[in-house]
Structure 1
Amino acid sequence: MESEGILLGMGNPLLDISAVVDDDFLQKYDIKLNNAILAEDKHIPMYDEMASKYTVEFIAGGATQNSIKVAQWMLQIPGATSYMGCIGKDKFGEEMKKNSMKAGVNVHYYEDEAAPTGTWAVCVVGGERSLIANLAAANCYKSEHLKRPENWALVEKAKYFYIAGFFLTVSPESIMLVAEHAAANNKIFTMNLSAPFICEFFKDVQENALPYTDYVFGNETEARTFSKVHGWETENVEEIALKISQWPKASGAHKRITVITQGADPVVVAEDGKVKLFPVILLPKEKLVDTNGAGDAFVGGFLSQLVQEKPIEDCVRAGCYAANVIIQRSGCTCPEKPDFS
């Protein structure tokens, strides 16, 4: 494979502020476990309280950036991946740059003069996590940055693209520029449903991008919300995956494949009107550290094999391997080398 810059991600770079909290904290800020939401005014004091009251870890995160970092780790080829998004000109932004470059990702951040770097509160209770995003600068990405020659060169170079659904809330124009480029040049464009609220409140922009997608990722909760929003009247994840795979396509060069994870239950893959189930690697409860980033890691592992043109079985196996590694660690962090074969 021609490896340099083969995979490009675009998304909302957020610095993870990760801590094990307690039920009182969740109640105080009206946080539900296993959920991902955007911060409201009532959540803003929470970030400082987490940092002062609990033991906090800082990790360069955000859904797409997590997946790209994991793909980079799995590939072990310097510069195989690139990433774009918006950060602030501040200490958290510097932390993010350092962290991503250390991971071997070629980052081209747009640096906003006014807004602070976005943060992602990761509240962990009993191994389960809840995410509250304060997008801040991540919300300020502009397609002008993408169009700059040095950045568009990354698009030209890449053969695979991955964008989490969260970016639909920020720069749908950038998504469509990349999606149309991929369709016109017979490249692979992949997206994630990302969160129930994306399927509910950003339905129109999601539907605009969907015809361009060659792979759609998601989990069972997102899939069921997608089904409900589209009036499909089914909760059956296999049926929903199939329906998403059969959504009309903007380019006939590739079929669409839907990949839905279900926690400890099998991964659902729908393609060519058929559904296959792939078992995940089960982990004893005592080895589970936290589920934050498991879905992102799955996508990163999957993409690491996809860009090498491996069969779908290998892509899913790599996704399950990466997710299994990540949930045994705090936050979406990787050991030095993978031992996937």
Structure 2
Amino acid sequence: MGKPLVSVTMITYGHEKFIEEAINGVLMQECNFCVELIIVNDCSPDSTDDIIQNIIKKHPRGNWIKYISHKKNIGMMPNFVFALNEAKSKYIALCEGDDYWTDSLKLQKQVDFLCKNEDYGLIYTNANIFNQMENKFTGTFSFINNEAPKSGDFFPSILLKNYVQTLTVLVKNEYLIAAIQTIGDSINEFNMGDYPLWIEISRITKFKYLDEVMAVYRVTPNSASSYSNLEKRYDFLQSTFDMQFYFCKKYSLFEIYEKIQTNYSGFLCNKVFDLNIKYIDKNILNSFKPVSIRDRIIKLSLSFRWVYKISKVLLKLNSLLKKNVNIIKI
């Protein structure tokens, strides 16, 4: 095998039921260039390691695989960054060990586009969603992608919503390296490693959305963005808002900041209502700067123990309050 043009990074932990399908989705790729698959196992407690070793030995394309298994568990985020740092090719693709690709021409189509369009640095596609708990497909990511620009400049609108499905991405490594260096240790403060990277990369290059389903995103009880546990789900969403506020402040995006604050006020209200909690952590409350009448009402209610009753009223009035357009500067 010659020098790889594409490195595919695959982090895995406890994926014995899914890892073979994930690996086969990469090894089935039909392309006129060399590919390497970098699998980094974060000390899985199950038989994930045995399955990977067996594939390397028996699969005709087992020599595509560069396999690293940590002796101690280092955690999802450090493992994610570790895997990216192992990738040295011109282009980088990502697929976690519980997701998989379905189109054998995925990499070829994406490389062809980036080679022909030098002003673009990242291309991603649509993907099916498979709910493992219900054992059925529940749709695609088109409900998000329909709101996204089809191509061109994604910054700063990507701060309002992450349009990019990580398992479908192909990105130029030079931009990925630049983003990792720019973010630095701050990446460990967030509950997701991909979204901050797309934000930073969108500042320096154009994105392309290819409207084809080329992969499957698997929803499991442990999926970070799809926690069945409400408390974990809200913790993840809180981290998302923290990250959005971080980048708004970093790049002085005050107009975007105000839009996110509006979303955040609704999030806090729903959190109190769903979790039946009496008050929000003071540090979170102090970081919430109201920018509208609606925000002021919500912050006032969150400051008192009778917030649960207030939140019920606010939720009923939510559609009316959203129509408020008078922004109050503080």
Would you call these one fold, judging by a TM-score over 0.5? no
**Structure with greater strand share of residues:** 1
Report which structure shows greater RCO (CA 8 Å, sep ≥6).
1
TM-score (normalizing by structure 2)? 0.31
**Structure with greater helix share of residues:** 2
